[in-house]
Amino acid sequence: MVFLQVQPDDGLAIYDQIVRQVKFAIADQVMESGELIPSVRELARQLMINPNTVSRAYRQLQDEGILEAVRGLGLRVTAGAARRCRSERVELIRARLKQVLAEAIQSGLTAEEIQSLVQKELRSKN
Partner DNA sequence: GTGGTCTAGACCACC
Partner DNA sequence: GTGGTCTAGACCACG
CB of 19 to DNA, least distance (A): 10
Residue 48 makes contact with a second copy by CB under 8 A: no
Segment holding 47, helix H or strand E? helix 40-47
| From 53, 66, 77, 78, residue interacting with DNA (rule: CB under 7 A) | 53
CB of 48 to a second copy, least distance (A): 13
Residue 15 CA, chain-centre distance (Å), reads 11
- E strand map for 13-122: 67-70, 74-77
- Phi, psi values for residue 80, rounded to 5°: -85, 10
Return the range that interacts with a second copy (CB under 8 A); candidates 30-38, 39-47, 89-97: 89-97
Distance CA 60, CA 15 (A): 9
| From 39, 84, 89, 104, residue interacting with DNA (rule: CB under 7 A) | 39
Region 80-119 residues binding DNA, contact defined as CB under 7 A:
none
| From 1, 24, 33, 49, residue interacting with DNA (rule: CB under 7 A) | 49
CB of 112 to DNA, least distance (A): 36
- E strand map for 53-106: 67-70, 74-77
Torsion sign, CA atoms 107, 113, 117, 122? positive
Q: By the criterion CB under 7 A, which residues form the site for DNA?
A: 8, 13-16, 37, 39-42, 49-53, 55-56, 58-59, 62, 69, 71-75
